[in-house]
């Protein structure tokens, strides 16, 4: 049985003790041309306009994805991702909170606990930002950074 390793990451807002995912990306370790990323809409139960809040303002300045931005529902993106990933494939994510959040849909996800370097210090794949070009805090770039860092360790 052939298995694959995938790297996954997302960008978004933390609001009312939950993630509001705006961009999610996944990369195939064995075939780097297989990188998929989605820009997701807010859930219907959050305000239509970003609330005025210093934390949300900071998050927006960091990833530069507008509150109202997105063209795909998160669950549709997750369904596509689940179709890509084999049942026995490994999915790697950085950070316990993101890993926990994604585990409800991707039970095979594992935290890359061996990777302790913060993303702001991972700068090998700056050319891999997505077509939206919203900056270095881009989920697409970050999955390439996870791949590069994982190959070093």
Question: How many whole angstroms separate alpha carbon 25 and alpha carbon 37?
Answer: 4
CA distances from 5 to 2, 51, 57, 81 (A): 10, 38, 35, 13
Helices (H), 89-153: 96-103, 139-152
Q: Region 84-95: what's the mean pLDDT?
A: 94
The whole-number pLDDT of residue 127 equals 85
The whole-number pLDDT of residue 152 equals 80
134 pLDDT tier (thresholds 50, 70, 90): confident
Q: Which domains does the chain have, with CATH numbers?
A: 5-152 (3.30.420.10)
Per-residue pLDDT of 96-127, as tens digits, reads 999 999 999 999 999 999 988 888 888 888 88
């Amino acid at each position: 049985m052939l298995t694959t390793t995938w790297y996954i990451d997302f960008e978004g807002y933390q609001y009312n003790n939950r993630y509001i995912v705006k961009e999610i990306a996944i990369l195939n370790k064995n075939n780097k041309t297989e990188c998929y990323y989605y820009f997701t809409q807010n859930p219907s139960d959050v305000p239509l306009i970003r609330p005025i809040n210093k934390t949300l303002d900071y998050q927006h300045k960091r990833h530069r994805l507008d509150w109202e931005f997105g063209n795909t529902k998160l669950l549709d993106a997750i369904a596509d991702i689940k179709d890509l990933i084999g049942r026995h494939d490994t999915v790697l994510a950085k950070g316990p909170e993101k890993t926990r959040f994604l585990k409800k849909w991707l039970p095979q996800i594992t935290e890359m606990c061996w990777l302790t370097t913060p993303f702001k210090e991972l700068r090998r794949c700056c050319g891999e930002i997505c077509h939206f070009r919203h900056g270095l805090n881009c989920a697409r770039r970050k999955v390439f950074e996870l791949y590069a860092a994982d190959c070093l360790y």
